[in-house]
A = this chain, B = another copy of it.
Amino acid sequence: MMNPRILYLIKRAEIEVTSRMSRALEKLSITVTQFTVLYFVWHDKGDLSSAQLSRRFSMTPQSMNELIAVLQRKKLLKKAVDPAHKRILRISLTAKGTQLLKDCNTAIDHVEEELLAGLSKADTEKFREFVGKILASGREKPLT
């Protein structure tokens, strides 16, 4: 069998990851996409607007707004007007959202372990570094 494309391997990996995460998260009544949004928000410490999130997800601001609205109805995210720009709503986790994210992280810890079972600790760090560089190639400009 010839060497498959890197893009194909990344797609395969994402399918595998998403599939396992779905199963791990379904008992928490949250989808992989919803979890990822929570994680993005947490990762960037509540500084993001809905429009900024939409760009990181490569989706339209309208679609992201719907996603956010779902998470707001679930009381996992909240919006607060930016003091400097009254039109911008900064998004952050609620206490409930923070707790759920914590539970999600616990739930998928073993998913991550399973996936990385074939890699040594050093290789895992190498892998992390490589993905980081791949992501960096997409943003000579800083993320907005």
Q: What is A's interface to B at a CB cutoff of 8 Å?
A: 1, 3-21, 32, 36, 39, 43, 56-58, 105, 108, 111-112, 114-119, 123-124, 126-128, 130-138
Contact = CB atoms under 8 A, between A and B. Distances in A.
A8 B8 CA distance: 18
A17 B9 contact: no
Copies in the complex: 2
B43 A8 contact: yes
B132 A119 contact: no
The prevalent SS among residues of A at the interface is helix
B11 A11 contact: no
A30 to B, nearest CB: 14
A9 B117 contact: no
A1 to B, nearest CB: 8
A17 B13 contact: no
A17 to B, nearest CB: 5
